[in-house]
Amino acid sequence: MSLSQQTTNTHKSWPLRLENLLAVPIPGALAENPAASRHQTNATHRVLTRRLQCPAMLWQAGSARKTRSGTIFSAWTTELDFAPLLSCAIAAERVQQDDVDTEWPPDPFNQVDEDWPAPDPMNEIDDLPDPPAKKRRKRAVIFEDVVRAGKPPTGAHSRSRARRRHKIAAQGHDINPAVREAVVSRSEQIAIPKSDASTLPCAHGPYGGKTEQRHETRGKQKKWSVAGLLGLGFQLIRWDGRTPHPLVDCTRRIFTVLAGQPSDLSYTASADSAFQRIKALSRATYFPAAMRRHRRGLFAAINVGLNFGKGATAPAWLDNKQHTPLATQLLAEPDIIRMANFASFAFGLWAPRLYRLYVENNARLHNQLPHLNRPFPQSVFAWASFNFGPRVCTFKHRDVCNLPFGWCAVQALGNFDATKGGHLILWDVKLVVEFPAGALILLPSATIAHSNVPVADGEERISFTQFSAGNLFRYVDNGHLMKAKESRWENGLKLFSSLDELA
């Protein structure tokens, strides 16, 4: 019998009907979902239809085959009738399924008695816990956070801050151009068209201001009111103590800056804390009469830092004798350190070339005298002065020992009404400026005569200043040539900046 005849006979004798094949029961998992049942039935219909069309594929008797070793495969049998077996299995499963009372939609409360499916090792990943939610990256801790927390940072942040402090101490503040542009853009300049910084009094050299003449010292101890100054033709500058105001002369040269203070409220808290600390330390200290009456006013003051006075062969740290513990405590106060660092930063922002001269001079001085340190390592100023209250009001004076074209940082502290008292008087440019507590003013104190308007009775005012003595620059320069001395004043004025340059 040929293979085609065998296939035809097998097909004719096959008792399985298509209707019986389509009656395959739905598995239990699919019975709960009619849509899934219909999908499974359609799939079964397609498979069985292909099998009916090609039954020879299941029962075709193939020719004997041999392997390489000579083993003969047995031919597929043609005597097995699969249809009765399939019918019996379908009938048995149908009877078993009819005994199950299914419901749709399923009730989740009826599932408690059903057996759990056998665990599938390939599906164990579903039993793992959910991955932890992503945490937002915390911003770096800043000084304001430390002030609010009341404790210093630890770990990597402390090491990073230490490296930054050492870098600033050695190289000065690196002012971001975007920060400088933002500060300058929101500033409001005050033009003094009749003023020329080059005409300010300066000694020959110059490493110091010009000594005051007798007519300049006459009446310098007089207490001036705002009304009295306005009567002399002075201009009143109202100031909130925050908005920067550069003072520009006729050549658009910035010679004084009302620098203000940071807008951060934590800085205001630091200024208040510094005031309370200085006041408490001064009240616990005895100052002799000689320290409470001097050429700058009638108040106790203490100076700390590097000095190079007459007769000295090299700069040295000023000896405060019995007040050395007081000076040490003041220099260690975090709030005072913050104010000192801000003053140095503002100096670098408004006069970058002049600031760089201070940085270079400090580096050269440190190379020659490495054992000497400045009062505040992150500030370029080599000298600090604390003017204790309770109501600091300076006489008209010039700080002739300062570098003549150098700037002095003056910061007011206390509890007073800045619109009624505490003003800074700039005599050479005829300005009287409101000077609120916490604010900073940068000025060439060696060449501009300045003083204060007294505050009212019951109010408190102290001041904190920083500067560098001109003799420190003289020591580093080591005399240089006489020609250099003659042009040093003009070269120093070239270090002043202009608004156009900063913008």
124 falls within a domain? no
Task: Evaluate the omega torsion of the peptide bond into residue 105 and state whether it is cis, within 30 degrees of 0.
Answer: yes
> How is residue 168 written in tokens?
């600033």
Whether the predicted pLDDT of 1 surpasses 90: no
Co-location of 153 and 185 in the same domain: no
Co-location of 165 and 93 in the same domain: no
**According to the per-residue pLDDT averaged within each range, which of 106-115, 294-303, 414-423 is highest?**
414-423
Co-location of 9 and 152 in the same domain: no
Q: Taking the alpha carbons of 125, 126, 130, 131 in that order, is the dihedral positive or negative?
A: positive
347 falls within a domain? yes
**Element (DSSP H or E) covering residue 227:** helix 226-231
> How is residue 237 written in tokens?
């500058």
Co-location of 430 and 472 in the same domain: yes
Overall domain count for the chain = 3
**According to the per-residue pLDDT averaged within each range, which of 87-101, 305-319, 479-493 is highest?**
305-319
Sorted by sequence, the CB contacts under 8 Å of residue 449 that are 6+ apart come out as 212, 216, 396, 397, 398, 426, 427, 428
Q: What is the mean pLDDT of residues 207-227?
A: 81
Co-location of 147 and 244 in the same domain: no
Q: What is the mean pLDDT of residues 148-172?
A: 75
Mind listing the pLDDT tens digit for each residue in 239-273? 999 999 999 999 999 999 999 999 888 999 999 99
Co-location of 465 and 404 in the same domain: yes
Strand partners, 247: 190, 256
Question: What's at 244, amino acid-wise?
Answer: P
Co-location of 262 and 300 in the same domain: yes
Q: Is the pTM of this model over 0.95?
A: no
119 falls within a domain? no
Q: For residue 431, is it left (φ>0), alpha (ψ between -120 and 50) or beta?
A: beta
Q: Of 105-114, 131-140, 388-397, where does mean pLDDT reach its minimum?
A: 105-114
DSSP state of 253: B
Note the pLDDT of residue 429: 93
CATH number, position 321: 3.60.130.30
Can you give the residue range of the structural domain that contains 219?
175-502
DSSP state of 415: E
Co-location of 254 and 391 in the same domain: yes
Co-location of 388 and 370 in the same domain: yes
State the CB neighbour count (10 A cutoff) for residue 55.
16
Q: Taking the alpha carbons of 378, 380, 382, 384 in that order, is the dihedral positive or negative?
A: negative
Co-location of 85 and 223 in the same domain: no
